[in-house]
Structure 1
Amino acid sequence: MTDPAPVNDFFTISSGYSQLWKSATLSGELRRWARHWPHRTAVVDPQERLTFAALDGAADRIAAGLARIGLRRGDRVVVQLPNRADFLRVWFGLQRLGAVPVHAMPAHRRDEIVHLAATSGASALVVADRQGSFDLREMADQVGRTLRERGLAPPTVIVAGKAGTPHRVSLADLDEELDHGPVPAPGPGRRLLPVEGPDPDDPDGPAPGDLALLLISGGTTGRPKLIPRSHTDYLLTAELGAAAADVGPDTVYLAVLPIGFNFTLACPGVLGTLASGGTVVLAPDPSPATAFALIETEGVTHTALTPALVPHWLAEAQTWPEALHSLRVVQVGGARLPDELARVAGPALGARIQQVYGMAEGLICYTALDDEPELIATTQGRPSCPEDDLLIVDPASGAPVPDGQAGELLVRGPYTLSAYYNGPVPDPAFTPDGYYRSGDLVRRLPTGHVVVVGRVKDQINRGGEKYAAIEIEDHLLDLPGIRAVAIVGIPDQDWGEAAVAVLVHDGPAPSVRALATHLRERGLAAYKAPQQVHSISRLPLTPVGKVDKQALRALLTSVPKGHHR
């Protein structure tokens, strides 16, 4: 694909930050871990166990294999793999080559993958062969055809599993024990941070300040944006998280949520655990029964959940409490955990609850493990780094508000970006002096703890899966008979938020199932389908002519649930 135009200044540069960044890369860190703990178990999945040395060797082989098929340093590669050791083989193989993984979620489908590939200028797409009954290989081929129709070069398709046809590349063929010489690394990568000197553990690899990976935003104005992270800032994120969660060499971390989530990968997650010499256990599905079995057999000490999963874990704990004998810390993030649930979860699971609040764009907050129980239950923690610069302002005027008063959170710091990858310039998501507008409404307590009270941005957050309302509205407007549509989030006891499609239409209103079918046929992820439909004669408008979603939300929360279909 054609390389998108470069964008500078992804991070606010401050002389005070340089002392926090070290001259290390993710590839070099894996090399160092393998040297320090070669025979220690690094990764466990249902089918295999990998030592640190084995994971490091796999990164070498896959980097060489990727180079053989034409990938080079700086190339972007969309990675859509489940919680399997293959994800880490591929991810570290890309890091070793100096290529850039673009994180896709397992639930994404053709439409989302096309967007990620086109926006990043991806040279390759890595998928599993199947996800249940869904054939990801056929989807990958559809992605290629769609991109070709748009005048873009289709990415090389790499399949973890059965490739199916010769035009796809099998991951197993890249992971061969063959001597193909050194991995080529022509030309510099995209530099993000001014960290001097090569990584001593990976002198021929990427530079510490280079672009290391692209995460995806939750999206508030349409399609998800790409979030650039460098080696140095991402390692800092993981190390700060490891300190906050008391992660060490005896840690066994269970990845329940998708490994490609920032929360699962680096808060402290997989990377923070590996950096501490601990072991990562990959759950093949998020069911409590699967998780409890792995906790019992592997001696899991740490894990991370979304609020939607917590009630299911509490129910499982009533019948299988002995499985949790080793569990010490349960992190909860991705959405706000209701206070009452937070109060009972720790005792019920026999572990300490740690609330985690933040964003893939940077800032991560944690409650301390020794915080007072009421602070843990009612706040979303404090910033993990002293250099995190938080400003809470009135959303309308932009003026700072005093502690205790709700306002929009603006943030900048050593691991928070100040521009999206190939984003607009200037970008309204950032202030002229480099603060990122989070879109979250928060209160800050005198202790420094942050309490999330709502959102400014028009976004749906369903159990931690975030997407822009306008993305779905645009697709639903193409349905026959729909004259106007608004997607509105309302409180949901199980998932935190439910999406309601408020429709102005001719004839009978389409059902929830019909809307889900339409969105699926458009190639969208299933979690983006509305849970309810509400008919209305016209959409209320604000004084400036925009859809008044506050009025709609008030209407929907006052209507008995049975009146929504």
Structure 2
Amino acid sequence: MASMLDGCTPWPEEFVDRYWAVGHWRGNTLDNLMRGWALQYGPRTALVHGETRLTYAALNRRVDRMAAGFRLRGLRPGQRVVVQLPNVPEFVVTAFALMRAGAVAVFCPLAHPASGVAELVRVTQAVGYVASSAHEAFDHTALAADVAARWPFLRRVFTLEAPGASSPYGGLSTDPSGCQYSPLGSIDAAPEPALAQSADQVAFFLLADGDAAEPRLVPRTHDDVAYQARAAAESVALTEDDVYLAALPGASPFALGGPGIVGTLSVGGTVVLAESPDPAGCLPAVERERVTVTSLVPDVARLWLDALPTVQADVSSLRLVQLGGPPPHDVSPHDVSPQRAVAERIGAAFGCRLQQVFGMAEGVFTLTGPAAPDASALATQGRPLSPDDQIRIVDADGRNVPDGEAGELLARGPYTLRGYYRAPERNARAFTADGYFRTGHLARRTADGDLVVTGRLHS
């Protein structure tokens, strides 16, 4: 994995050889997979957002032209670009276009504080920033101007809309520090020959949960993301007839590849993008688009369940609701967790199957199987997605604990990172000597082999 970015930790060669030998990693970059999907599913609908509908062929053309536009604007392979966009088609197009241009997206949550965005730019030495010019009354253009003045390597800002008149440089294309501002829609050029890229390169960075002042950046490679999304799609029997509603942020690991957006596109299904998880918009979208699969966190699922009698949308098309999210900090094995309480309502209210999921930006991913008995589906987070995921549950001294006892969950596998980006001191604490990731979560294994994630270690 010599082609990995400087500051990233590669998988050891023996594991690389193993993941290749069994077919987990197949050497295709995500943007090259997009080309294949366009050929295979060309006229089918890939993305829906309000009245906007994009076919696979049209999506790939937009990716091609935006990638050429980014390269024309000076973006070079390996350079980082912070992306802070809502669930709109431009989010998907931008993500794949940056990959096709060889640049590396740094996905940033919309709610991330301004100071945290500035720190992301600093840590990654990002040369570009993609955002709405303003979102929910927050002026991202003004934020970009402030960050560019502090960090001179940020020189290209691309806004979803033209910068507003209220922003510091609303009427200008370049600010006094030399940073260039461009509407994202103007990033369009005649497609160029494809770059030679390797699937073991970093496709994008995800931001792990934690303190915005000390960001933990997770490098995800084309190979590991493609495998996770493909395996997750297979685990829920996703087909081209499925319609996935991305109600959670598209840049979250759950909505991105569990199977999420990437997994749905990989089978020729349709992705419906919702800018907000608000049930007033999402439940009618389920009815209108005949959504079959979606993924929720407990708080959002509770809102949907409470709103269903009022909204009165027909949600009978749903066949699967995935439920995941961070576990509570302290739950006794004898207590009913908030997630369990919500899980027990979903099947009856939506008339569909429930799947519990535990996933992290770092790549750890477990889920209940489609044929799991109710006791497992309601009360556990199932089993690892990959047969090559290695899971340990250990005590404070690093010794394995017996089934039924709680301990810290450790993991390593074909989509679990081997190190945070440019964080040697943190990595020394977060990983064991033999490469297991210390998740910081407490879990226990049932007698049947299922995992129950019960809380988090106290820091």
The alignment partner of 2:57 has SS state of helix
- Residue 410 of structure 1 and its aligned partner are, at CA, apart by 0.7
Give the conservation status (yes or no) of the 8 Å contact 1:365–1:382: yes
Tell me how large the CA RMSD over aligned residues is: 1.8
| Displacement after TM superposition at 1:215 (Å) | 0.5
Q: SS in structure 1 opposite 2:200?
A: coil
CA distance in 1, matches of 2:110, 2:84: 6
In the alignment, the residues of structure 2 paired with residue 386 and residue 349 of structure 1 have an alpha-carbon distance, to the nearest angstrom, of: 31
Corresponding letter in the other structure for 2:283: F
Q: Distance in 2 between matches of 1:220 and 1:411?
A: 22
Query: Which amino acid counterpart does residue 407 of structure 1 have in structure 2?
Result: G
Against the structure 1 CA distance between its residues 9 and 406, is the aligned structure 2 distance closer, same or farther, given a 3 Å change threshold? Answer: same
Amino acid at match of 1:330: V
CA contact (8 A) 1:97 1:205 kept: no
- Equivalent position of 2:192 in the other structure: 182
1:386 counterpart residue number? 387
Q: Which residue is 2:100 aligned to? A: 96
Distance 2:320 2:312 in 1: 15
* Counterpart for residue 34 of structure 1: 38
Query: Following superposition of structure 1 onto structure 2, how do residues 490-509 of structure 1 map, counting pairs within 5 Å?
Result: none
Match of 1:325 in 2: 316
Which of these residues, 229, 232, 249, is aligned with residue 241 of structure 1? 232
User: What's 1:376 paired with?
Assistant: 377
Aligned 1:51-66 pairs, distance under 5 A: 51-66=55-70
Aligned to 1:256: 247
In the TM superposition, residue 321 of structure 1 has moved relative to its aligned partner by 4.7
2-side partners of 1:161 and 1:340: how far apart? 41
Q: Counterpart amino acid of 1:17?
A: Y
Residue in structure 1 matching 2:223, options 232, 245, 253: 232
Runs of 4+ in 1 over 4 A off after TM superposition: none
The AA in structure 1 aligned to 2:130 is V
Return the alpha-carbon distance in structure 2 between the equivalents of residues 284 and 126 of structure 1: 16
**2-structure distance, mates of 1:220, 1:375:** 33
Q: Deviations along 1:456-515, whole A, 9 cap, x unmatched? A: 153xxxxxxxxxxxxxxxxxxxxxxxxxxxxxxxxxxxxxxxxxxxxxxxxxxxxxxxxx
8 Å contact from structure 1 (residues 45, 85) kept in 2: yes
Note the 1:128-527 alignment, pairs <5 A: 128-148=132-152, 153-163=153-163, 164=170, 165-167=172-174, 168-175=181-188, 178-179=189-190, 182=192, 204-219=195-210, 223-336=214-327, 337-394=338-395, 396-424=396-424, 427-458=428-459
Q: What does the per-residue CA deviation read over 1:162-221, in whole Å, with 9 as the maximum and x for residues that have no partner?
A: 13331211111113xx43x625xxxxxxxxxxxxxxxxxx6x342111111111111269
TM-score, structure 2 as length reference: 0.90
* Preserved contact between residue 327 and residue 350 of structure 1 (Cα < 8 Å): yes
**Matched residues in 1 for 2:447 and 2:227: separation?**
26
Task: Give the Cα separation in 1 of the matches to 2:373 and 2:116.
Answer: 42
What is the percentage of aligned positions where both structures have the same residue? 39
Q: What amino acid maps onto 2:200 in structure 1?
A: G
* Contact 1:321-1:349 at 8 Å conserved across structures: no
How far did 1:21 drift?
Answer: 0.5
Q: For 1:335, what is the secondary structure of its paired residue?
A: coil
Q: Which runs of 5+ in 2 are unaligned?
A: 164-169, 175-180, 328-337
SS at 2:305 equivalent: helix
Q: Aligned AA for 2:184?
A: L
Whole-angstrom CA distance in 2 between matches of 1:397 and 1:302: 41
Per-residue deviation, 1:242:
0.7
Contact 1:392 1:407 in 2 (8 A): yes
State the alpha-carbon separation in 2 of the partners of residues 87 and 338 from structure 1.
29
Q: Distance in 1 between matches of 2:107 and 2:399?
A: 36
User: Is the 1:220–1:457 Cα contact (8 Å) retained in structure 2?
Assistant: no
Name the structure 1 match of 2:333.
none
CA distance in 1, matches of 2:12, 2:241: 36
8 Å contact from structure 2 (residues 42, 57) kept in 1? yes
The whole-number CA distance in structure 2 between the counterparts of 1:100 and 1:174 is: 17
CA deviation string 1:309-331 (max 9, x = no partner) = 12211112223455202111111
Distance, in Å, in 2 between the alignment partners of 1:316 and 1:155 is: 45
Whether contact under 8 Å (1:5, 1:422) holds in the other structure is no
Q: Radius of gyration: which is bigger?
A: 1
Residue number in structure 1 paired with 2:335: none
Give the structure-1-normalised TM-score.
Answer: 0.73
* Distance in 1 of aligned mates of 2:133 and 2:9: 38
Q: Would the aligned equivalents of 1:304 and 1:331 in 2 still touch at CA under 8 Å?
A: yes
Paired with 1:328 and 1:28, the residues of 2 have a C-alpha distance of 30
Change in Cα spacing, 1:419 to 1:226, as seen in structure 2 (3 Å) is same
Q: In structure 2, how many angstroms separate the alpha carbons of the residues matched to 1:53 and 1:429?
A: 42
Count how many residue pairs are aligned between Structure 1 and Structure 2. Answer: 428
User: Matched residues in 2 for 1:112 and 1:155: separation?
Assistant: 18
Q: Is the 8 A contact 1:10 1:421 kept in 2?
A: no
Q: Distance in 1 between matches of 2:274 and 2:263?
A: 17
Shift in alpha-carbon separation, 1:366–1:286, aligned structure 2, 3 A: same
Answer yes or no: is 1:127 the counterpart of 2:131. yes
1:380, distance to aligned residue in structure 2 (A) = 1.1
Contact 2:5–2:201 under 8 Å retained in 1 = no
Question: What does the per-residue CA deviation read over 1:294-319, in whole Å, with 9 as the maximum and x for residues that have no partner?
Answer: 11110100111111112211112223
2:6 corresponds in structure 1 to 6
